[in-house]
Amino acid sequence: MPIPPEPLLPLGLRLRNRRVVVVGAGPVALRRVGALLAALARVTVVSPAAVTALEDLAARGRIEWYERPYESGDLRDAWLAMACTADAGVNAQVLADAEEARIFCLRADDATQASAWMPATGRTGRATVSVHADRDPQTAAALRDAALAAVEAALRQDSALRSRRRPRPTSPAAGPGASPGPGPEERPGSHPAGPGRVTLVGGGPGDPGLLTLKGFQALADADVVVVDRLAPLAVLDGLREGVEIIDVSKIPHGRFTPQEEINDVLVSHARKGRVVVRLKGGDSFVFGRGLEEVIACTEAGVAVDVVPGVSSAIAAPELAGIPLTHRGISQGFTVVSGHVPPDDPRSSLDWAALARSGTTLVILMGVENLGAIARAMTKAGLDPVTPLVCVMDGGLPSQRVLRSSLATVAGSGPPAGLRSPAVMVIGAVAAFASG
Phi, psi of 220 (to 5 degrees): -65, -25
- Catalytic, out of 74, 136, 221, 250: 250
Residue 44 three-state SS: strand
* Cβ 370 vs Cβ 418: under 8 Å: yes
- Catalytic, out of 109, 207, 228, 247: 228
Q: How many residues does the chain have?
A: 435
Residue 373 three-state SS: helix
Cα 145 to chain centroid distance, Å, stands at: 23
Q: Count the helices and strands in the chain (H runs, E runs).
A: 11, 17
* Cβ 19 vs Cβ 44: under 8 Å: yes
> Does residue 228 carry a catalytic annotation?
yes
Please, is 37 exposed, middle or buried when counting C-beta atoms within 10 Å of its C-beta (0-12, 13-18, 19+)? buried
Residues 6+ apart with CB under 8 A from 153: none
Q: Cα(309)–Cα(279) distance, rounded to whole angstroms?
A: 10
- List residues bridging with 224 in a β-sheet: 244, 276
- Spatial strand order of the sheet with 275-280 comes to 244-247, 224-227, 275-280, 197-202, 303-307
> Does residue 134 carry a catalytic annotation?
no
Side-chain half-sphere of 23: how many Cα atoms within 13 Å?
30
Q: Is the dihedral of CA 339, 337, 236, 273 positive or negative?
A: negative
Comparing CA positions, the residue from 288, 328, 337, 278 lying closest to residue 311 is 288
Q: Cα(215)–Cα(235) distance, rounded to whole angstroms?
A: 11
* Cβ 48 vs Cβ 87: under 8 Å: no
Residues annotated as catalytic are: 228, 250
